[in-house]
Amino acid sequence: MSGDKGDGERVLRLVTSNEGKAMEYAAALAGISWKVERVAGPYEEIQADTLEEVAGASARQLFAEGSVPPPFVLEDAGLFIDALEGFPGVYSAYVFQTIGHQGILRLMEGIRDRDASFESRIALCVPGGDVELLSGSCSGTIPQAMRGSGGFGFDPVFIPEGDYRTFAEMSIEEKEERSHRGRAMAALRERLARL
């Protein structure tokens, strides 16, 4: 049976090129009855207008290629800034690689509305090839300057609602309790318990 190593332990593959993301999955999925195995090779991210389309289409493509046996998960996430009409959104990876968090702060110079949200869409490909989507989101604000050295990506420029610290100033557990990914991973844990 796919996902069963033969000794009763079930294996979920996590496909990501992002080390920080992989660490968050390892922390959140420790202690469940699944062994999480990272597949570090990049997959071809399908271009689309929404995170769910990107995640869903990428997972279906990966299943069709047959290189990663299901069950596996991949995730598309992004930062959506209200005053920038949702930018960088689905372009977050590209924007992070090009202008980085300094670029985001520059774009936000002089803008009073600092509201933003982080969104996560996990695509779970189950044995047989069906793809299911699990979501998580986190509202917050963009600070005036970057703060903190933890986490990854845009973490130094995002303060979750109800807190005063950026994600980069939190421990991995504190970020998980509040974050888009933490919420999507909680839904994933529930789903895996029924798989």
In the chain, which ranges are E strands?
10-15, 34-39, 72-81, 115-125, 131-141, 159-160
181 lies in the site for ligand ITT, by CB under 6 A:
yes
141 lies in the site for ligand ITT, by CB under 6 A:
no
Q: What is the dihedral of CA 113, 93, 59, 151, to 10 degrees?
A: -80
Cα–Cα distance, 161 to 116 (Å, whole number): 10
What is the per-residue binding string for ligand ITT in 72-111, x denoting contact by CB under 6 A?
---xxxx-------------xx--x---------------
How many helices and strands, by DSSP H and E, does the chain display?
6, 6
50 lies in the site for ligand ITT, by CB under 6 A:
no
137 lies in the site for ligand ITT, by CB under 6 A:
no
Task: Find the shortest distance in angstroms from Cβ 7 to ligand ITT.
Answer: 29
Q: Give yes or no for a contact between 88 and 81, defined as CB atoms under 8 angstroms apart.
A: yes
Does the annotation mark 76 as catalytic?
A: yes
151 lies in the site for ligand ITT, by CB under 6 A:
yes
Residue with smaller CB distance to ligand ITT, 58 or 192? 58
155 lies in the site for ligand ITT, by CB under 6 A:
yes
Residue with smaller CB distance to ligand ITT, 104 or 192? 104
Which residues belong to the active site?
76
